[in-house]
Amino acid sequence: MSRFVLPRRRALVLSGGALVAPMIASGIARAADDWPSKPVRYINVFPAGGPTDTLSRIVCNELAELTGQQFIVENKAGSGGNIGTDAIAKSAPDGYTIGLYTIASQSIAPTLYAKLSFDVEKDFTAVAMLWSVCNMLMTRLDLPAKTVPDLIKLVKASPGKYSFASSGAGTTPHITGELFKQLAEVNLLHVPYRGSAPAWQDLLAGQVDMMFDNIPGPLNLMRGGKVNGLAVTSLKRHPAVPDVPTMAEFLPGFEITSWGGICGPAGLPPAMVEKCAALAKKALESDAVKVAYEKQGAVPFWLSPADTAAYRAADEKRLAPVIKASGAKVE
């Protein structure tokens, strides 16, 4: 009987290769155990001063307290969050660049944009959800309509005269405005900005008439007596503003909520992902974050990595018909 004999050099190579895999796995495990051993860069895909910036910094400060390492928030805004999201996708999968996982670029952009520089299913590692917020419709103080029915009547009387601002094409404030146009059967001009903060400035200056935005921003502006808050976009009234009605009270079926979480580029080591997710859960359970989120009108909303990815996909499927029906498309 003949038998196959490997040349000695090749046999050594294969033997060495058999040892390499466990060594690499061991190195990855140690890296996950030690993570973070240096400052972590967190990319917020919207400008400084907006709701996502505030909510991101609250969690990053708590993560820094828990780990003893800095979580440095870097704002990379533009294109409805797509510029910063692209930066996350193209970063090294070593756990030291993570960023905002947001409904805008992860669930809305695939339908709204004709072409994206990233693939939401292949280019990211979902880590955890962090918060859920509804939107609020706010108007400039001198706009004569002080209720949703009055606003609809006002806009219908002058089609195309009135405008609504958003934090960018493809953001939930934009899509919320499109849903309002559909259900109320009104003609409004959409004016997109590079984030919430510059949109607020033009609303306060009277350059635009109204705006839907994640509730932290409108809440603070309302409390300062700078805007009128007409309605929230959740199915139930928000506990922070119980006197403000829901849009569904006037337009049945109206519901849109926004969410934010943590993601990294594709290929993050699973053990590192699980550790980061566990730290995020611990951060959201802290009294400091709970109180800070409550003041901002946000709800802590933690999901596991797998459930976070599934939630994103479900929202993309749910919102696609709304976006297509609006006729909105970004080339």
Q: pLDDT (tens digit, 9 = 90+) per residue, 225-269?
A: 999 999 999 999 999 899 999 999 999 999 999 999 999 999 999
The least confident of 16-20, 68-72, 214-218, 274-278 is 16-20
Domains 33-133+257-326 and 135-249 share a fold: yes
pLDDT level of residue 220 (50, 70, 90 thresholds) = confident
Rounded to whole angstroms, the Cα distance separating 210 from 116 reads 29
List pLDDT tens digits, range 268-286: 999 999 999 999 999 999 9
41: three-class secondary structure by DSSP: strand
CATH code linked to domain 135-249: 3.40.190.10
pLDDT > 70: what percent of the chain? 91
What distances in angstroms separate CA 219 from CA 112, 208, 235, 295, one per listed residue?
28, 18, 18, 9
Q: Are 262 and 99 in contact (CB under 8 A)?
A: yes
| Residues 109 and 54 sit within 8 Å (Cβ to Cβ) | no
Query: Quick one: DSSP state of residue 225?
Result: T
Structure tokens at 279: 């730290």
Domain ranges for the chain:
33-133+257-326, 135-249
Q: For residues 271, 317, 232 and 104, what is the CA-based torsion angle, rounded to 10 degrees?
A: 60
> What is the overall mean pLDDT for the chain?
90
**pLDDT at 216 (0 to 100):** 86
User: Does residue 306 register a pLDDT over 90?
Assistant: yes
Q: Which pLDDT value is given to residue 1?
A: 45
Query: At residue 185, does pLDDT exceed 70?
Result: yes
What is the average per-residue pLDDT within 90-104?
Answer: 97
> What's the CA gap between 107 and 171, in Å, rounded?
10
Architecture of domain 33-133+257-326: 3-Layer(aba) Sandwich (3.40)
Residue 125 confidence class, pLDDT cut points 50, 70, 90: very high
Sequence length of the chain is: 331
- In single-letter form, the type of residue at position 136 comes to M
Which DSSP string corresponds to 93-153? Answer: SSSSEEEEEEHIIIIIHHHHBS--SS-TTTSEEEEEEEEEEEEEEEEETT-S--SHHHHHH
